[in-house]
Amino acid sequence: MTTSPQLQLRERLVGTWTTEATHPALPGVVVHGTAVVEWLEGGKFLLLRSTNDHPDFPDALSVIGDDGQDRADDAAPDRKGEPGLCMHYFDSRGVFRRYQVSADDQVWQWWRESPGFSQRFIGTFTDGGNTIVGVSQLRRDDDQWNDDLRSRTGVRDYGVWSTSLAITTTCDGE
């Protein structure tokens, strides 16, 4: 399977993950879920499908790939050796969003800048890479970031990826 160098680094995300998340709008409630991350046939994109056991938290499908890759022949534009990753997010509410993505041996991140509703997630790999502990934040005033969602994701079945990253569990109605 041929993949971009950026996506090869993301191989650590592949697997089925159990998730736990808390949200300030639901004090004392822990939302459980599952996230599955797997390669789309051909190895060019990662698919992230997440489900949650709380009706206020949407289920979602995200597609992660090289945002400069618009051809099947690997002829991506030269960006000084650093192709960027993006994630297209779709959820059960009908919401669609596009995020920038990065991941390395220690951190998984996604973010988007949108006036009045910017979002970011920073998750740290712990437990030898088998757990991701993270926080999702919102910025509604274009100045101050506020915590939105805290999550803990643990691997259940290595080889298929899933995560309760905040990308799938925003329950503020937006």
Residues facing residue 149 across a β-bridge = 136
pTM, two decimal places: 0.80
Query: Residues, the chain, total?
Result: 174
The percentage of the chain sitting over the pLDDT mark of 70, rounded to a whole number, equals: 75
pLDDT tens, position by position, 105-150: 888 899 999 999 999 999 998 888 888 899 999 999 989 999 988 8
Q: Give the residue among 44, 20, 42 at the shortest CA–CA distance from 33.
A: 20
Q: How far is CA 24 from the centre of its chain?
A: 20
Q: Which CATH number describes the domain made up of 5-68+83-168?
A: 2.40.128.20
Q: List the single range of 44-48, 61-65, 127-131 with lowest mean pLDDT.
A: 127-131
Tokens of 4: 């971009």
Q: What is the pLDDT of residue 151?
A: 86
The residue extents of the domains of the chain are 5-68+83-168
Report for 8-17, 109-118, 123-132, 158-167: range of highest mean pLDDT: 109-118
H-only helix segments in the chain? 5-9
Average pLDDT over residues 2-16: 69
Asked if pLDDT for residue 53 goes beyond 90, the answer is yes
Output Rg (C-alpha) for the chain, integer angstroms.
Answer: 16
